[in-house]
Structure 1
Amino acid sequence: MQTILVLITFAIALGYLLKKFVWTPVFESRTTPPNSLDGNKVKCGKKDCGCH
């Protein structure tokens, strides 16, 4: 019984580490950067008001 619990815990931990360090960086790099306030290196939206 304890062996099964250890294997389940190990599988969950391994899945978490794979998702965090392998899955997300690989597929996150393929997406285009969002059009946020600083996504296009533009402060204050479309105009550069110089407030930052």
Structure 2
Amino acid sequence: MQTILVIITFSLAAGYLLKKFVWNPIMEKKQSTLGTFDGGKTKCGKNDCGCH
């Protein structure tokens, strides 16, 4: 019984570390930026109001 609990705990910890350090950086790179001239960093919101 103890061995099963250790395996479950280790699997959860390893899964958490993989998600945090491997999965999230990969998914952040795949997300594309908005189609604005400054890379989606407009000062007036998500819609382009033409003020810059």
Per the TM superposition, whether the score is higher than 0.5 is: yes
User: 1:43 is aligned with what amino acid?
Assistant: K
In angstroms, what is the RMSD of aligned CA positions? 2.2
Structure 2: runs of 5 or more not aligned: none
Structure 2 residue aligned with 1:23: 23
Question: With structure 1 as the length reference, what TM-score do the two structures score?
Answer: 0.67
Match for 2:43: what amino acid?
K
Deviation track 1:1-52 (CA, whole Å, cap 9, x = no partner) reads 11110110000110011011101101220110246xxx5222013324xxxx
Q: Structure 1: where are the runs of 5+ without partners?
A: none
- Residue identity over aligned pairs, in percent, reads 58
Structure 1 counterpart of 2:22, one-letter code: V
Number of equivalent positions: 46
| Structure 1 runs, 4 residues or longer, greater than 6 Å off | none
